[in-house]
Structure 1
Amino acid sequence: MSKLSSSLGFVVPAISTCKFLAYLTGISDILIHDQQLSSPLTSYFRLQEGVHLFQSGIDPYDGGSFHHSPLLLALFDTVIPASRLAAYVLWCLCDALAALTLAKIWRSRQRVAQSSRDALIASIYLLNPYLLLPSLALSTSTIDNAFTLLSLSYACQGNASASLLLLALLVHMSPSSILILAPVILLLLSDPLSHLASPKPFPTRLNRAIPLLFTFIIYMGVLAVASCIAAGNLLWISRSWGSNLMLPDLTPNPGMWWYFFTEMFDHFRPFFLMVFSVHLLIYIAPICIKFQYDPLYAGFLLLGVLGTFKAYPTLADPGLFLSMISLFPEVYPYFRHPIVTALLHIHSALLLPLFNRLWLTQGTGNANFFYASTLVFACSNGAALIDCIWAGLRIAVGEAKEGDHVVQE
């Protein structure tokens, strides 16, 4: 076991050191403006601009370019120096923490102190190109992913206060992450162990869920008050939280919203904004009800939904979902089309930067080029999500033959 622990203790610092050296080469200056790696809501460049305006006595929320949470604004204004070197250190630490936390979630799911897969799981997270490149671009989605995994990890340990506080912080910075509130509460009421092969009804514990929900609301309220104090007004609500609902910035990104609303007539815009926003929410109840016996898997699937359909995605959003597949090796034999899904991701990973360059750099293409590649990317994410849902359901049937009847409680 000491060898296993030492391997994890070597892999994470080694990869983090290599990543820090990559920062020093100036690669961030090349990637920081890439729309695939950072969105208007996660751009470090826009965060720097907002901090500069704030320090100059100008409200950054008066304009239309700053959409970050006041909590991040206050953090970079007071605690973290406004220097690239400090940012490099912070992003390396966030990635290392997220990788270690992912390994810790695996241990909690297996109910072991250490495992031979710890180093592998951490490496999968740190070396995932969908996560590595946004981190090198200093996208704040790296911080969001770290908070997501920390919240799930504390929920696996049954630490309700820490889990819900981290989730409240995450929702303040990325309101669409409210999708995982239900599975986090279910996880706090049950356990992180795998029950996919033996589904059973979730025990009725609504009386215990209400205090947890109330605790989360209190944390959200306290953080909202802190945000109002930091920003000095309430304008941040519409500029930060409202951006996820109103889509004020149509900067191209790997998602499916921007092009649709670029072509949308103004009088149809409110209706379709409502449809797209509600579309994200309709998955919560079916997934949580069907996978009530394994809330960690339900949360994993909802992160896949979020990475596919959120308003301002980056590559880091589906990247987190894909890295978390390593937590569920029991479903691997039941994937239906894993090769097709992998090839779709390779195809879209090649198309996205190619068509982006043809359109925005060389000028030999147009917006349809890049949007076509984002649709292929959405198909690849959807294929991975459907494969995981299929495998999570199919494992309960096992090796049943044709004509057999399987009854789930």
Structure 2
Amino acid sequence: MDINFAFGGLVAARLLLSFVPLPDQLKYDHLLSSPLTSNLRLHEGIYLFKNGVDPYSGGVFYQSPLYLSIFSTLLPLNRVSSPIIWTLIDAVSAYALVQTWRARSGVGKSNRDALLAAVYLFNPYLFLPSLAFSTSSISNMLHLLSIMFAARRKTSPALFCLAALVHVSLSSTLLVLPVIILLLGQPKSSLANPKPISIDFEKGRMIGLEFLAHFAVLTLTSTFISGGFQWLWQTWFVELSLPDLTPNPGLWWYFFTEMFDHFRPFFLVAFSVHLLIYIAPVCIKFQYDPLYAAFILTGVLGTVKAYPTLSDPGLFFTMISLFPEILPYLRYPIVTSLIHLHASLLLPLFNHLWLSQGTGNANFFYASTLVFGVANGAALMDCVWAGLRIALGETKEGYEVVQQ
């Protein structure tokens, strides 16, 4: 089957799903959109922005001023345009995933292209937030575009997309180092034959400076759009200070709901630093395969970021399709899949019992998020194990380490 025809058919089917009368119900679902990605809050911010009111003065709108500018001028949102825009966003993301696979496998086309596109477009963890018009879909698109351009050696587009990603989602800072290493290295699989690499630090310094330049331009543009620096406290620092404790599938909200104010600053620092400590070990261990390092850090983000939605672990699970070589080396794929299936059933059930029926309480929903966190963590650890285990070659006597 021709990949262009298959891709067009997948996108058309995905567009039809966007026009069914589900999104109006999904917009209120805490599993699909967080305070930082909510479409309803985006509409409220745009309304205030158009009427000359600072959307960052009320403590409700937490999204980038770039969204205010783009969606109030270039891409106005309504019942017709929103499904088309979000479908195109998902189509670009699927295209970036396919192109990343081609760069990794070193081919122009492959039989897996249509499968990869379908895995992204119809992954429930990804298309349900997209049907809710969550801006997490935009973050996923920037995430995959930055990796795609880096894998194809297009430095400036990769760094611009990466800067835009960090700008709209500060926790995505975890991806800066692996993307820079990917620009310095190569995207092809080296998991089975790991070798230390020599890094051109001078080139890396220039790449880092260019990233900072892109980031500074976006920051100044946002400041100009919003008319001041108030947006900094209502976007970037929200992920660090956690002012909005709206329930979500993550592990932070309930912990800080029960936290005494006296201990809050300490645990905010501890939780934030916890995200950062993974960068150096993962990038050092997988320096010979930076694309895999970016994949592992994507899983870390999907598991322990401050305001996650289902699309965050969904992106991680979709990116597994880029690494078919690790599948035989996963230790407990069936157990991990069953735990995830269990969690995916518990989350909407306990959320409905608590917030809609009133027959449960916060402990019900948080118990399901803990199961979900265990499932995400188990999948992450299994992928780390497989990425390391593949470097061991089987022999008649046992196992032989082939890493040099």
Decide whether aligned partners of structure 1 residues 354 and 198 sit closer, same or farther in structure 2, where only a CA change above 3 A counts. same
Partner of 2:167: 172
Structure 2: distance between partners of 1:56 and 1:230 = 14
Which residue identity lines up with residue 247 of structure 2 in the other structure?
Answer: P
Partner of 2:103: 108
Partner of 1:205: 200
1:308 counterpart = 2:303:
yes
Give the one of 261, 264, 285 matched to 1:290. Answer: 285
Partner of 1:19: 14
SS of residue in 2 equivalent to 1:204? coil
- Compute the displacement of 1:405 (Å): 4.7
CA contact (8 A) 1:358 1:364 kept: yes
Question: How far does the alpha carbon of each residue in 1:274-315 deviate from its partner, in whole angstroms, 9 at most, with x for none?
Answer: 000000000000000000000000000000000000000000
Partner of 2:47: 52
How do 1:361-372 residues align onto structure 2 when only pairs under 5 Å count?
361-372=356-367
CA contact (8 A) 2:34 2:309 kept: yes
1:229 counterpart = 2:224:
yes
Structure 2: distance between partners of 1:342 and 1:406 = 29
Structure 1: distance between partners of 2:279 and 2:195 = 19
CA contact (8 A) 2:392 2:399 kept: no
Decide whether aligned partners of structure 1 residues 366 and 400 sit closer, same or farther in structure 2, where only a CA change above 3 A counts. farther
Cα RMSD of the aligned pairs, angstroms, is: 1.1
CA contact (8 A) 2:393 2:399 kept: no
Give the one of 348, 354, 359 matched to 1:353. Answer: 348
Q: Runs of at least 4 residues of structure 1 off by over 6 A?
A: none
Partner of 1:189: 184
- Compute the displacement of 1:20 (Å): 2.4
CA contact (8 A) 2:303 2:377 kept: yes
- Compute the displacement of 1:403 (Å): 5.7
Give the one of 350, 371, 374 matched to 1:376. Answer: 371
Q: Which runs of 5+ in 2 are unaligned?
A: none
CA contact (8 A) 1:13 1:96 kept: no
Give the one of 203, 208, 216 matched to 2:211. Answer: 216
Which residue identity lines up with residue 361 of structure 2 in the other structure?
Answer: N
Give the one of 374, 388, 391 matched to 2:386. Answer: 391
Which residue identity lines up with residue 353 of structure 2 in the other structure?
Answer: L
Question: How far does the alpha carbon of each residue in 1:118-156 deviate from its partner, in whole angstroms, 9 at most, with x for none?
Answer: 001111111111001101111111111011111000000
What is the number of residues matched between the two proteins? 404
CA contact (8 A) 1:150 1:166 kept: yes
More deviation, 293-302/207-216: 207-216
Structure 1: distance between partners of 2:7 and 2:39 = 24
- Compute the displacement of 1:404 (Å): 4.7
Question: How far does the alpha carbon of each residue in 1:208-256 deviate from its partner, in whole angstroms, 9 at most, with x for none?
Answer: 1111111111111111000000001100000011111001110000000
Which residue identity lines up with residue 322 of structure 1 in the other structure?
Answer: F
Partner of 1:140: 135
CA contact (8 A) 1:397 1:406 kept: yes
Which residue identity lines up with residue 108 of structure 2 in the other structure?
Answer: A
Structure 1: distance between partners of 2:53 and 2:233 = 17
Structure 1: distance between partners of 2:141 and 2:258 = 35
Structure 1: distance between partners of 2:42 and 2:48 = 10
Which residue identity lines up with residue 164 of structure 1 in the other structure?
Answer: L
CA contact (8 A) 2:32 2:128 kept: yes
Partner of 1:276: 271
SS of residue in 1 equivalent to 2:394? coil
- Compute the displacement of 1:407 (Å): 5.5
- Compute the displacement of 1:101 (Å): 1.1
- Compute the displacement of 1:398 (Å): 2.6
- Compute the displacement of 1:21 (Å): 2.3
Which residue identity lines up with residue 143 of structure 2 in the other structure?
Answer: T
Structure 2: distance between partners of 1:404 and 1:96 = 43
Give the one of 52, 60, 75 matched to 2:70. Answer: 75
TM-score (norm 2): 0.98
Q: Which runs of 5+ in 1 are unaligned?
A: none
Partner of 1:151: 146
TM-score (norm 1): 0.97
Structure 1: distance between partners of 2:371 and 2:121 = 25
CA contact (8 A) 1:67 1:243 kept: yes
1:326 counterpart = 2:313:
no
